[in-house]
Amino acid sequence: MKNFNRFKKILLLLFISTLFISCEKDFLEVTNPNDLSPETFWKTEQDAIKAITGAYALFQYQVWDGRWGYYEIGYMNLECRSDLINLYDMWSPFGDMSTYDASSTSYVLNDFWSFSYQGLYAANQVIENVPGMGLSNGDVFVAEAKFLRAYAHYLLVTNFGNIVMKTSTPQSTDDFYEGQSAQADVWAQIEQDLLDAKSNLPLTWESQWLGRATKGAASSLLAKAYLWQEKWSQAASELREVVNSGVYALESDFESLFNGLNEHNSESIFELNFTMSDAGGRNERNSFPAMQTDWKMFTPNEYMRGLFLNDLTEGGELSQRVNGSLIYTDLAADDLGAISWKKFSLYDEATNNGYSFSHSGTNFTVIRYADVLLMLAEALNESGSTGEAEGFVNQVRARAGVPDISGMNQADLREHIRHVERPLELAAETGRFYDLVRWYKNGNLSSVLVAHGREAGESFDNSNDLYYPIPSSETTSNPLVVQNPGY
């Protein structure tokens, strides 16, 4: 009897205790309350806006907190090899890069490479996911993403030459390891993306969305791609579309293009937006160090100064291009070191709004109408229509207030566009070295550099120095990637 009672007690105890033991089948399934997941995202237009915003944001290259990212990684590494600059006091990563001797371990190149690929990843996410959302304007988002994908590939292929092309998001760990593509294939992809984008992008955006890609932006970038491949007539027809769209016109005040007080003007085709606002972290600010301060890295060189000194109006005055591009006291007599570039920087009280030079909301203009006109002139000239080409050059010159050119033959006009007009108009806007590469990649780039006063160009060798080295972080982790020759 005693045993039986004991047995009953035990059974009761076991019964009670099993109640505690939950037999939920999904006890081990958890969901992450902190973040969205692909199952809960990609539902509404707001999600699409967030996703495309995330993609644009990467082109600000804000690698670390605080705002120097764009200046170092999005601007300086593109500008430092120009033949129009004098190296004044290069910060340490740019010392080697600016003398055509970059190192594969440079953090600047590493960050540029990885942020560009993050941009590609973000753009590919939009391209893959938005079509399935059933939005009425879904095509526009996809078009914007394709534009950004083309832009990222453009930046990568013009800087590194032999790049990994990314047209989809990785689905498995094998997809992390892809090899490099032939340059021709990359250009073909860029062209295809831009043609697709062009057809669905709007001509303009309403004010609150200014900064998003437009049809004109896609066409202009496509034209640049064509020019790289010397497809002159295709470039010309693309550029004519931009001209004839009626959307763009040259601004009359040259300086206002760069001082942050006239953003998204009629000449601006594609701008990278920055803002002063503190909300959401300080990474939406830009920082172009006031070129006139101790942070200054480079100045115009003698060749450039010579060009500016000759950019005179009818009345013999220095044109508004000179004033809008440089800070100087006496352009002819000043030491080179005392002259500074003015574009995009905040340097005086009137434009500062009380903020220091490193906290600026000034946008960076990636492509503007003057560039389109000069590209069209170049394409026409290369196709034999030198007369018509001169006309477009003169539109730019008229805005600057300097007299027209006329009666040039193809070779003269080519030299003029390459080594006079484009420098005067577009110096210090990151495009110069890439122009030199596309013109002289099969020619003698070294002699041009030397002729314009860049001593380091003497040892420049087309087979090695046209492109930066692939960052070592990629070559050591990706066995399918081969380092560029010469590094």
Partner 1 sequence: MRKFLTIFFCLFVYQTIFAQNGTVIGTVVDEDGLPLPGANVIVLDTELGAATDDNGNFTINNVPTGTYSLRAQFVGYNNVVIGNVVVEANKSTEVNFELVSGIIAGEEIVVVGYGVQQKREVTGSVASISADEIKKIPTTQIGSALQGAAAGVNVTNATGAPGASPRISIRGTATLGNNDPLYIVDGVPTDISYVNPSDIESMDILKDASMAAIYGSRAANGVIIINTNRGATDKGQDLQIKYNSYFATQSVENKFPFITNKEDYVKLAKIALENAGIDYTTEFGADHFLNMYDDDPSQFSSSDWEDAYFDNAFEHKHDLSVSGGAENFNFAVMGMYSDMDGLVSTTNNERMSLRLNSDFKKGIFRIGESVSIGRSEGSGRFNNLYSFYALSRMSPLTPIYDNTESGYGSQLNIGGFGNTGENPILENELNKDTWDEVKIMLSGYVEVDIFEDLKYTFRLSQNITEGYWFSFRPSYFTNDAENNPTAQMWETRNRKYHSILESFANYNKKFGNHTVTAMVGYAEEKADGRSTYGYAQDFPNNDLQVLGAGESGDNASGWANEWRLRSFFGRLSYTYLDRYLVTANIRRDGSSRFDADDQWGNFPSFSAGWRISDEPFFNLDKVTELKLRAGYGELGLQEFGDYQYIPKIQKDENGRLNYSYGPGRDQIIYIGARSLNFPSVGIQWETSKETNIGFDLGMFEDRFTMSLDYYLKTSDGILFGVPIPKSAGAVDNPVVNSASIDNNGLELAFAYKNFDSALKYQVTTTLSTYSNEVTRMGEYGDESIWGGEVHWGLDQTTKTVVGEPVASFFLYETDGLDSNGDLIYVDQNGDGEITEDDKKFMGNSAPDAEIGLNFNASYHDFDFTLNLFSSLGRKLINGGRWLTMNTDRFHAMHEDMLDAWTPSNSGSEIPRVIYADDRNSKASDFWLEDASYLRIKYLEVGYTVPKELTNSWGIGGLRIYIAAENLLTITEYSGYDPSVESYETGSIFNPSVSSVENTAGFIFDRGADRSPYPLARKFLTGIQVSL
Interactions with partner 1, residue window 78-117 (CB under 8 A): 105, 110, 113-114, 117
Nearer to partner 1, 118 or 464 (CB): 118
Q: Which stretch binds partner 1 (CB under 8 A): 162-170, 189-197, 225-233, 450-458?
A: 162-170
Phi, psi at 86, each rounded to 5°: -110, 125
Q: How far is CA 35 from CA 41, 237, 345, in A?
A: 10, 47, 38
| Interaction between residue 360 and partner 1 (CB under 8 A) | yes
| Interaction between residue 41 and partner 1 (CB under 8 A) | yes
Interacting residue with partner 1 among 1, 32, 354, 409 (CB under 8 A): 32
Q: How many residues bind partner 1 (CB under 8 A)?
A: 91
Nearer to partner 1, 69 or 457 (CB): 69
| Interaction between residue 315 and partner 1 (CB under 8 A) | no
Interacting residue with partner 1 among 182, 203, 281, 309 (CB under 8 A): 281
| Interaction between residue 329 and partner 1 (CB under 8 A) | no
Interacting residue with partner 1 among 43, 44, 101, 177 (CB under 8 A): 177
Contacts 24+ apart (CB under 8 A), 241-245: 242/216, 242/269, 242/369, 242/372, 243/372, 243/373, 243/376, 245/203, 245/215, 245/216
| Interaction between residue 210 and partner 1 (CB under 8 A) | yes
| Interaction between residue 173 and partner 1 (CB under 8 A) | yes
| Interaction between residue 54 and partner 1 (CB under 8 A) | yes
Nearer to partner 1, 56 or 151 (CB): 56
Nearer to partner 1, 208 or 442 (CB): 208
Interacting residue with partner 1 among 45, 90, 96, 118 (CB under 8 A): 118
**CB neighbour list of residue 383: distance below 8 Å, 6 or more residues apart:** 232, 233, 236
Interacting residue with partner 1 among 275, 383, 410, 459 (CB under 8 A): 275
Least distance to partner 1, CB of residue 143, Å: 16
**CB neighbour list of residue 327: distance below 8 Å, 6 or more residues apart:** 291, 292, 339, 340, 341, 342, 347
Q: Which stretch binds partner 1 (CB under 8 A): 59-67, 322-330, 369-377, 461-469?
A: 59-67
Sequential DSSP letters for 193-241: HHHHHHHHS-S---GGGBTB--HHHHHHHHHHHHHHTT-HHHHHHHHHH
**CB neighbour list of residue 309: distance below 8 Å, 6 or more residues apart:** 318, 331, 332
Phi, psi at 71, each rounded to 5°: -65, -40
| Interaction between residue 361 and partner 1 (CB under 8 A) | yes
Nearer to partner 1, 91 or 451 (CB): 91
Q: Which stretch binds partner 1 (CB under 8 A): 287-295, 358-366, 378-386, 401-409?
A: 358-366
Taking a C-beta distance cutoff of 8 angstroms, is the pair 346, 293 a contact? no
Return the bridge partners of 298, or none. 87
Taking a C-beta distance cutoff of 8 angstroms, is the pair 160, 113 a contact? yes
Interacting residue with partner 1 among 209, 302, 356, 486 (CB under 8 A): 209
Distance between CA atoms of residues 461 and 479, nearest Å:
27
Interacting residue with partner 1 among 240, 264, 418, 438 (CB under 8 A): 264
Q: Which of 357, 363, 361, 362 is CA-nearest to residue 278?
A: 361
